[in-house]
Structure formats: structure tokens, C-alpha cells
């Protein structure tokens, strides 16, 4: 926690590459990249490869991802010569249906995200000193206070958000300029992509995250929500 305390303010002036280089020096492979293979995450993986940082990359494979997402994971593995850790829930979809009934995501999406995302994430982060995410401040009110370096009190490790200050246009300029592969669903009005059951295309003037858990009050799966009464600043 001390490294973050000393560097948090200074890091706000750093470019994404500098943030990643600092993380590589401080944590080496004990820092890991969390990737949902959205636009931000392909940028992140490209930046990591440029500095040859040794970070493992993992994805929370809920078993309900879009076929396009699974294809993109394979493409990224080939392009960068990496193996993505695919973390799956203890319960297969059929077991979840047996225990909790069909369509848990409709009746209790928090419980479904808890089983399929939060539990595997907690287990993975227990073995890490820092995790690196693609969140940007612009994405939602709850992300507005995200820092490039912060202490994640929920999971008890350092959280690194190299793209915190990027705008959506910066992400897309990087992807186009560097001809990065990306999820083709982005070209079909899916700016934010999660599970098939809980993601829909957005209308032209809707918020980019409006297609996530549409029709329910849920706006986040919980990965990036600080515990009640706590925030991630120091």
C-alpha cells in the first residue's frame, strides 16, 4: 500500500505506458491484467506488449460471453503469443440452473454475477499484488473518482487503471492507428459488452453503458464498486 501512497498523486501526470512500466518494475508478474476484451482492454494488452511487461492476463469467462468475444480472445492469444487465463465459475451453467432455477440473471443478477464473476475474481486476486483494469473515469459516475494508482480496499491489493484519464475517442484513435483487432459487436451498437443475457445494443443517443443490465437497476457487476462507506482513495 505504501508504494501507492507515495506515488498516487505523481502518477496522475503519467502516460498509460509509464503507469504500466512502474507496475512492471514494482510487481512484475504479481500484477495481472483483467480483460473483458472490450475496446479499452485490447488497448491495454497492446500497451503491455510494447513494454514487454510480464503480467499474466485473465478473463472472467462466465460461460455466457458472446461468440465474438470468444473469437477475439483466440485472436489476441495468437497475435501477442500469450495465453489468457480463462477463469470460470465453480458451477457450470446447468448446475447453477439446478441449484437456483433457470434464468438467475433475470431474477437475481447480483447473485449470478457473484457466482460467475466475483468468486473467480476474488480467488484470482488473492494470488496477486496488483490488478490492472481498463476502467476510465468518463465511463460512469461511480468511476469518476478512479485514480491511475489506488488501493483496492474491497479486494485488498493495488489497483492500476492506466486508462483512467482517456476519453472514448482516445481509445478508438489508438485502435485505428495501430490496427488492433477488436470485438466486431462494437460496430453493431454494442459500446460495452458483457454476457449475452445482460447486454443489448444501444440506441444512437443512449449512454454507452445503457445496454448493460438494461431494464434492471443494476449498472455494475461489482468488480469496480467500492464497499459501502469506503472509497479507493487513500
Applying CB under 6 A, the residues found at the interface with ligand SF4 are 62, 64, 105, 109, 112-113, 116-117, 194-195, 197-198, 221
Conformation bin of residue 219: beta by default, left when phi > 0, alpha when psi is -120 to 50: alpha
Among 220, 28, 225, smallest CA distance to 130 is for 28
115 binds ligand ADX (CB under 6 A): no
Nearer to ligand ADX, 11 or 33 (CB): 33
Q: Is the dihedral of CA 142, 123, 31, 74 positive or negative?
A: negative
Q: Which one of ligand SF4, ligand ADX, none interacts with residue 53, CB within 5 to 8 A by kind?
A: none
Q: Which one of ligand ADX, ligand SF4, none interacts with residue 59, CB within 5 to 8 A by kind?
A: ligand ADX
Q: What angle do CA 110, 113, 118 make, to 5 degrees?
A: 115
For residue 88, the minimal CB distance to ligand SF4 (Å) is 11
Q: Which stretch binds ligand ADX (CB under 6 A): 78-86, 131-139, 146-154, 197-205?
A: 131-139
For residue 159 the three cell numbers come to 489497483
41 binds ligand ADX (CB under 6 A): yes
60 binds ligand ADX (CB under 6 A): yes
Q: Rounded to the nearest 10 degrees, how much is the dihedral formed by the CA atoms of 226, 88, 132, 27?
A: 110
Per-residue DSSP letter, 2: H
Please say if 198 is a catalytic residue.
Answer: no
Which positions are catalytic? 221
Amino acid at each position: 500500500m505504501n508504494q501507492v501512497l507515495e506515488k498516487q498523486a505523481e502518477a496522475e501526470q503519467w502516460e498509460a505506458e509509464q503507469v504500466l512500466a512502474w507496475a512492471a518494475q514494482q510487481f512484475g508478474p504479481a500484477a495481472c491484467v483483467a480483460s473483458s476484451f472490450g475496446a479499452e482492454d485490447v488497448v491495454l494488452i497492446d500497451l503491455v506488449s510494447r513494454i514487454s511487461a510480464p503480467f499474466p492476463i485473465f478473463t472472467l469467462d462466465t460461460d455466457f460471453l458472446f461468440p465474438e468475444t470468444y473469437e477475439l480472445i483466440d485472436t489476441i492469444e495468437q497475435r501477442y503469443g500469450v495465453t489468457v487465463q480463462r477463469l470460470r465459475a465453480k458451477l457450470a451453467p446447468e448446475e447453477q440452473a439446478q441449484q437456483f432455477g433457470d434464468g438467475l440473471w433475470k431474477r437475481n443478477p447480483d447473485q449470478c454475477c457473484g457466482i460467475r464473476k466475483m468468486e473467480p475474481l476474488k480467488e484470482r486476486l488473492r494470488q496477486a499484488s496488483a490488478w490492472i483494469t481498463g476502467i476510465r473515469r468518463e465511463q460512469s459516475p461511480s468511476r469518476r473518482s478512479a485514480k491511475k494508482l489506488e488501493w483496492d480496499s474491497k479486494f485488498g491489493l493495488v489497483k492500476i487503471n492506466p486508462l483512467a484519464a482517456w476519453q472514448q475517442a482516445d481509445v478508438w484513435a489508438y485502435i485505428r492507428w495501430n490496427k488492433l483487432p477488436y470485438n466486431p459487436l462494437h460496430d453493431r451498437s454494442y459500446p460495452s459488452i458483457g454476457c449475452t443475457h445482460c447486454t443489448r445494443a444501444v440506441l444512437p443517443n443512449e449512454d454507452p453503458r445503457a445496454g448493460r443490465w438494461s431494464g434492471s437497476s443494476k449498472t455494475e457487476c461489482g468488480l469496480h464498486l467500492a464497499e459501502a462507506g469506503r472509497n479507493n482513495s487513500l
